[in-house]
């Protein structure tokens, strides 16, 4: 069994992705992701350093819209799907830290 990703790395990635995994899940994902990454070793070893990336298949550029106001949603529509709301705003449990 390949071990390109350790269960510890899996746990770190889960933290970045805001997922919590049981130890068994972490083990399972570690081995499954490792086998996918093993398969990807064919492109890892390619020497194509100077090749351009394909950002858009048709090579479109400079797509913009005019600076004109378009009606959006009403406050009621905006909040209609909110799990919780108060004072016309989306209500959530407290935020502990500043964003990075």
Partner 1 sequence: MTTMSAYEIAESVRDQKVTATSVIERSISNANALNPKLNAFLAIDREGALEAAERIDSIIAKGGSPGRLAGVPIALKDNMCKVGLPTTCGSKILEGWNPPYDATVTKLLQSEGAIIVGKTNLDEFAMGSSTENSAFGPTLNPVDLTRVPGGSSGGSASSVAAGIVPIALGSDTGGSIRQPASLCGVVGVKPTYGRVSRYGLVAFASSLDQIGPFTSSVMDSAITLEVISGFDPKDSTSYDQEVGSLSAQRGLSIEGLRVGIVTEFIDGSDPEVVGALRDAAEGLARLGAEVVEISIPETKLGLSAYYLIAPAEASSNLARFDGVRFGLRVEGSNIEETNVLTRTKGFGAEVKRRIMLGTYALSSGYYDAYYAKAQQVRTLIKSGFEQAYQRVDVLISPVSPTTAFKIGERSLDPLAMYLSDVCTIPSNLAGHPAMSVPYALDSQGLPIGVQVLAPALREDLMFRLAFALEESASGVPTLDPSIKEAIIHG
Partner 2 sequence: MANIEVSPDELALSGGSEFLPKGWELVCGLEVHTELKTKTKLFCGCENVFGAQANTNVCPTCLGLPGSLPVLNERALEIAAMIGLALSAKVQASIFHRKNYFYPDMPKDFQISQYDIPLNADGYLVLPSGKRIGIERAHVEEDTGKITHLGGTSGRIHGAERALIDYNRSGVPLVEIVSRPDIASPEEAREYVSELRSTLVAIGASDGKMEEGSLRVDANVSVRPVGEVPFRTRCEIKNLNSLRSLVRAITFEARRQVDAYLAGEKVTQQTRHWDENVGRTVALRNKEEAEDYRYFPEPDLVPLRPSEEWIEGLRSQLGELPSERRARLVAGLGLSATNDQVETAISVDLYPFVKSALDAGVDPKIAVARCANELASLTPLDPGFEVSWFVEILRMETEGGVSATQAKSMLSEVAKSLISPKDAQEKLGISQLSEDQLTGTVQEVIQQNPAEWGRFINGESQLQGFFVGKIMKVTSGKADGKAVVRILRNLAERG
Please choose, out of 3-11, 27-35, 37-45, 85-93, the segment that lies near partner 2 by the rule CB under 8 A: 85-93
Interface residue with partner 2, options 48, 52, 69, 83 (CB under 8 A): 69
Please state, in angstroms and rounded to a whole number, the distance separating the CA atoms of residues 11 and 27: 10
**Contact positions with partner 1 (CB under 8 A) in 38-67:** 39-44, 46, 48, 51-58, 60, 63, 65
**Contact positions with partner 2 (CB under 8 A) in 21-50:** none
* Sign of the four-CA dihedral 4, 9, 13, 19: positive
Residues in the interface with partner 1 (CB under 8 A) total 49
77 counts as binding partner 1 under rule CB under 8 A: yes
> What Å distances lie between residue 63 and 43, 58, 60, CA to CA?
32, 13, 8
Residues 6+ positions from 51 with CB-CB distance below 8 Å: none
Interface residue with partner 1, options 24, 67, 81, 88 (CB under 8 A): 81
């Amino acid at each position: 069994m390949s071990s390109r990703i350790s269960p510890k790395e899996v746990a770190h990635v889960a933290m970045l992705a805001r997922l919590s995994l049981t130890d068994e899940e972490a083990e399972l994902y570690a081995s499954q992701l490792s086998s996918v990454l093993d398969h990807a070793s064919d492109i890892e070893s390619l020497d194509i350093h100077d090749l351009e990336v394909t950002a858009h298949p048709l090579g479109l550029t400079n797509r913009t819209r005019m600076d004109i106001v378009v009606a959006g949603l009403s406050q009621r529509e905006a909040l209609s799907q909110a799990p919780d709301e108060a004072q016309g705003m989306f209500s959530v449990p407290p935020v502990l830290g500043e964003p990075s």
